[in-house]
Amino acid sequence: MTDRYAVIGNPIDHSKSPLIHGLFAQATGQDLHYTALLGETTPGGFARAANAFRAAGGRGLNVTVPFKTDAFAYATELSPDAQLAGAVNALKFEGDRVLGQNFDGIGLVRDVERNLGLAIAGQRVLVLGAGGATRGALLPLARAGASLIVVANRTAEKAKILAQTFVPHAGGTTVEGCGLGALEDRVFDIVFNATSASLSAELPVISPSVFAPGALAYDLVYGKGLTPFLRLARQAGCAQVVDGVGMLAEQAAEAFEWWRGVRPDTRDVIARLTVPLT
């Protein structure tokens, strides 16, 4: 029998997940059917949709905006990454058990280290924004051995609170939070833009001086070409400027392997979805 999986969000028509998981299934010989579900944003809407999907034989869900916190509440068992992030982007159904995971940060680290060939260990890392994407990224970045992680946000207090939450879990990594205006005279080897600014072609309020010579600039938004953030980074002399397509593919591969026990190769998917940064 063909196993059923889906991605749930609202809106959902833009999602590349059905294409990605369809390609993964073909490449690995897995018998599965993957669709997109438009979830209700009314109270209880996510739970109703998830319950209906499970009742129809669904085995797992990818979860996107705005349901990651709903999925967190729906899960009966949470991974450490999901627990600390306060958000879930993948669910697996095993009888009455609902397992929740957050693969966003894991996918980000894998893209940087495996696909871009840059070891995070010992690097000074700046993450712009203090929303859900940042929450999912901090623990995997600390596990990868970053020497310093600074969370910078328009509202400084939000960044400081988020950083303080992660300090006890960061091992040997120093984690700090600050406002965007407090970055003067600070330099970083890797800068992640985890704000929503690129979705509206806006630029986070930062100075080009934050980029160390030869730095990596990484915009978590994908498919937008050379965003204002990446253009600033290129002009500042960054060695690499990339968007989030690799993270998208890698977090999808993590979920696929979690569900199916088979690790798909992401190279073809990344090549297919990559938009030139011009």
Residue 23, both tokens: 């390609």
Spatial CA neighbour of 174 closest among 200, 141, 196, 207: 141
CA pseudo-torsion sign 206, 218, 91, 151: negative
Compute the distance between CA of residue 23 and CA of residue 57 in angstroms, rounded to an integer: 22
H runs (alpha helix) in the chain: 17-28, 45-55, 68-74, 80-85, 104-110, 132-143, 156-166, 228-235, 245-260, 267-273
Under 8 Å between Cβ of 147 and 141: no
What residues are labeled active site? 68
Under 8 Å between Cβ of 68 and 8: no
